[in-house]
Structure 1
């Protein structure tokens, strides 16, 4: 029995230790913008109120146990009864009400403030001041559309700093949930309606995150739910405008080697173009965009959003997507590839970059 408790204690300690593992900017405890700051404040406030209540109740509990210990007051002693005491009744009714008011007032105020997305619904809006990003979630990838610029990307969200970025969200298959822990959220993506909200990204704090920080799906959506993440890259407002210009002026890079030309031919023969676009100005209707846009595939840092970008991982993904993301829709949609075909496709795909 003692050995079992030792094992249980070890697993409990291991759980507490592992709970602190992960990417540094995959945490709500390191806010990088106004929205995250307010949500963090509410988290701290509610935690402090709960801790205060636990401390007070615990002090009263142990005080009563010690003061009225049977061996101290005797077997037949009955402590003074305070049932119906008006002053006590008022006290322990007023205190919870006061604590609720302290918590409710900022919660309601922030809910109304953070829920104001009226700026994105104006017929005439300046995209440089009111940026709108349409987010579409699918099993198990993310699409980001910048409607004012005619740009569609996948798996990597590019946003400017020091301004509100408005999001319009929906799902194409099952319910998902869009969440950038360090920036704020989360909010569901549904198939039957659109949700809206905004986030902000502080230029000083996002620099500490490095080149990217992370977003996740926060709604259990299938066997590869845990692998449905995306990268968030922040740029200054001038850099962001430069990025949009490069994307809108995009010219498909020419394949420069025989192997890349063979890969481009295979890409067409295997009907990859029926699902994947290779240009950021994807003019197909939303329903036709059934797979990630590959226009910037050669610039990505991850394969399928989870593996490091290198030849070995790309070839492994092309040959057996199921081994990376179980249940993904790419599995079984094209014939098996041999090594030479995978080499050719890799050579072609790595050349898909913004000029």
Structure 2
């Protein structure tokens, strides 16, 4: 057991730059990491001091042979000791509390979100509305009329402000490498900001992983999303492309037939353009405008037609408790091939 305990301790320090809180990739993550190190140092110091006192007590003051009846010097009511063991914890708490309070207020400062938009309806602050559902994520850029799902796109070296809400049950938005972890509730909007460091983004190949950090159902562990980082110039180009994107015209017969199947079986829940003007209540499933550009299917499967068909056949097998139901489960193999061909053709930016 001691071997396994040692291995668990060593492995707990392992992490990839795209998914580890121990490799911070933004201002919030740096602050949280520094606070974690500070609290760890304080706790270890306390443990070391207490251990030393304990060892001294059981060695120096143990009962010795021939001195069974000796009464050691009594120190009850020592003002010096009482002051020491009262002042030291207060000092340690202040050392931990001051930076904690400062960071808490700094990370909760979202006043920039309330600024008035310019003539084009755009604020200086980049705002993203995050909506969590069983078991997928929607990301809306309200100032630009753009909606994506499952893959969040953000600029580097710029604060990104988030409005967090849930459609059904409580979830929690967390990008381990960037910081955060804040609940998404159904009855109120939580707000906070993150910033992604360009150098750390390069180390992670501009792709980070996000997760739901609140137990929300049988597929909670599978409620992942991806975060793609871009330079500020590339991000603006991406926004422009999303704003001007139109519905993709099928390039071949199979995709055209797949489009017909999609319109009959899927269009009532899914959208295929980033400018989804439907109200939030009508957006029942992920926006598929950039489906062909994604790196995962349903956030967990490899991005290829075979896995896509497996997902369509039986989504319950891969994400138990999800809300994807419909007549598409009765499609023939030929129809599945056509639908997969159409979905894979849905792209805004060629990659």
Q: Would the TM-score normalized by the shorter structure come out above 0.5?
A: yes
- The equivalent position to 1:262 in structure 2, one of 257, 261, 279, is 257
Unaligned ranges ≥5, structure 2: none
* Alpha-carbon distance in structure 2 between the residues aligned to 1:31 and 1:132: 22
Map of 1:44-55 to 2, 5 A cutoff?
A: 44-55=37-48
Map of 1:246-261 to 2, 5 A cutoff?
A: 246-261=241-256
* Deviation digits for residues 76-121 of structure 1 (CA, Å, limit 9, x no counterpart): 2232121110111101100000001111111111111111101101
| CA apart distance, 1:9 | 4.8
CA RMSD of aligned residues (A): 1.7
Q: Which sits farther off after the overlay, 316-325 or 17-26?
A: 17-26
Contact 1:28 1:184 in 2 (8 A): yes
Q: Calculate the TM-score normalised by the size of structure 2.
A: 0.94
Contact 1:317 1:324 in 2 (8 A): yes
Q: Calculate the TM-score normalised by the size of structure 1.
A: 0.93
SS at match of 2:330: coil
Unaligned ranges ≥5, structure 1: 1-7
* Alpha-carbon distance in structure 2 between the residues aligned to 1:334 and 1:318: 7
- The equivalent position to 2:62 in structure 1, one of 46, 69, 73, is 69
Residue 338 to residue 58, structure 1, CA distance change in 2 (3 Å): same
Map of 1:153-302 to 2, 5 A cutoff?
A: 153-270=148-265, 272-302=266-296
Q: Which sits farther off after the overlay, 64-73 or 158-167?
A: 64-73
| 1:307 counterpart residue number | 301
| 1:41 counterpart residue number | 34
Contact 1:296 1:354 in 2 (8 A): yes
* Alpha-carbon distance in structure 2 between the residues aligned to 1:39 and 1:311: 40
| CA apart distance, 1:236 | 0.6
Contact 1:144 1:157 in 2 (8 A): yes
* Alpha-carbon distance in structure 2 between the residues aligned to 1:72 and 1:213: 65
Contact 2:314 2:329 in 1 (8 A): no
* Number of residue-to-residue matches in the alignment: 347
Residue 73 to residue 85, structure 1, CA distance change in 2 (3 Å): farther
* Alpha-carbon distance in structure 1 between the residues aligned to 2:180 and 2:332: 43
| 1:5 counterpart residue number | none
| CA apart distance, 1:312 | 1.3
| CA apart distance, 1:307 | 1.0
Residue 333 to residue 83, structure 1, CA distance change in 2 (3 Å): farther
Contact 1:320 1:331 in 2 (8 A): no
| 1:151 counterpart residue number | 146
Contact 1:132 1:146 in 2 (8 A): yes
